[in-house]
């Protein structure tokens, strides 16, 4: 995700400095003449704006506050803006935002006396990251959001301001909760229809012309042979990994507990995707839940 987002910024004329724990990923950029650094702190030391895209809350905390992290050398910072596009829990986003707001700037910027942070997770997956058609859900200071909007639109097609710090992360968790439950419902319905004698392609047409229509049926259909260009058409390779969906559902269930809510569908979805990972399918796209639980139901 991050490398594809970086490519779109480069194509729009931004000067980038890149760091990744994967040295092969950095080599690809350095061979193109893009400056690379050996640590997050080195990137921060030479940048005005920082963008991070990481797998989990622990990774984010390590990159920001760990050894040689973005904030590891005192509370006077070079970058005036930090943008985190990772999908993490809102509490971590709010904690980091407050930490950054307590710092000062080496170089003052018009309108900003202290550095700001935006939590800006995305929807659209790897294909949208490559095509520059992501949707950004953004939380944080509204003035920082307005200033950063050209950056978002270099990487995506739309950007939605969600309110204060952590609200972008909260929106993303809610989005993925709905996406997971929807995919499970569509998978079950298509499997049942096939067992009852209705072709998946026929039932998909019915869904997409009626009240069952949703992203899981009309854009990301989970049945092999029904739709071209989706993970189901290439053995569920690429796309949004099942292990990441399991992680996001865990974030949703933990967030629900913290606010005193019980979500039985979310809890069951988390168990299903966790089991999918335990069965060795964590790197497959999350729509492989159809093939795993309903084998032999491919469209012919």
Tell me the DSSP string of 103-149: SEESS-BTTBSS-EEEE--EESHHHHHHHT-EEEEEEE-HHHHHHHH
C-alpha–C-alpha distance, residues 283 and 276, integer Å: 10
C-alpha–C-alpha distance, residues 156 and 121, integer Å: 11
Q: How high is the pLDDT of residue 126?
A: 82
Q: How high is the pLDDT of residue 300?
A: 46
Our answer to whether residue 37 is catalytic in this structure is no
- Burial (CB < 10 A; 0-12, 13-18, 19+), residue 221, is buried
Q: How high is the pLDDT of residue 293?
A: 81
Q: Which of 172, 243, 247, 284 is catalytic?
A: 172
C-alpha–C-alpha distance, residues 165 and 144, integer Å: 11
pTM recorded for the entire structure: 0.90
pLDDT (tens, 9 = 90+) of the chain, 300 residues, equals: 899 999 999 999 999 999 999 999 999 999 999 999 999 999 998 899 999 999 899 999 999 999 899 998 888 999 999 999 999 999 999 999 999 999 999 887 777 889 999 999 999 888 889 999 999 999 999 999 999 999 999 999 999 999 999 999 999 999 999 999 999 999 999 999 999 999 999 999 999 999 999 999 999 999 999 999 999 999 999 889 999 999 999 999 999 999 999 999 999 999 999 999 999 999 999 999 998 888 776 664
The candidate with the shortest Cα–Cα distance to 93, out of 49, 61, 124, 123, is 61
């Amino acid at each position: 995700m991050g490398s594809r987002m970086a490519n779109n910024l480069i194509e729009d004329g931004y000067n980038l400095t890149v760091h990744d724990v994967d040295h092969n990923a950095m080599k690809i950029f350095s061979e193109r003449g893009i400056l690379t650094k050996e640590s997050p702190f080195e990137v921060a030391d030479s940048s005005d704006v920082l963008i991070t895209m990481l797998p989990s809350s622990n990774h984010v905390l390590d990159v920001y506050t760990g050894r040689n992290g973005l904030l590891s050398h005192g509370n006077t910072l070079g970058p005036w803006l930090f943008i985190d596009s990772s999908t993490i829990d809102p509490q971590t986003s709010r904690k980091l935002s407050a930490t950054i707001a307590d710092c000062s700037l080496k170089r003052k910027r018009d309108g900003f006396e202290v550095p700001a942070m935006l939590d800006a997770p995305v929807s659209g997956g790897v294909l949208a990251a490559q095509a520059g058609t992501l949707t950004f859900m953004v939380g944080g200071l509204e003035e920082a959001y307005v200033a950063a909007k050209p950056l978002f639109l270099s990487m995506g097609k739309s950007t939605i301001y969600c309110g204060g710090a952590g609200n972008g992360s909260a929106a993303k968790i809610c989005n993925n909760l709905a996406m997971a439950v929807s995919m499970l419902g569509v998978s079950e319905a298509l499997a049942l229809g096939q067992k009852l004698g209705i072709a998946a392609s026929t039932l998909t047409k019915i869904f997409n012309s009626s009240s069952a229509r949703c992203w899981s049926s009309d854009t990301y259909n989970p049945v092999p042979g029904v739709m071209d260009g989706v993970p189901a058409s290439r053995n569920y390779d690429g796309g949004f990994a099942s292990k990441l969906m399991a992680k996001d559902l865990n974030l949703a269930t933990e967030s629900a507990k913290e606010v005193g809510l019980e979500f039985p569908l979310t809890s069951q979805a988390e168990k299903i995707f966790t089991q999918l990972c335990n069965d060795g399918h964590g790197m497959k796209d999350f729509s492989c839940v159809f093939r795993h639980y309903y084998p032999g139901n491919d469209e012919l």
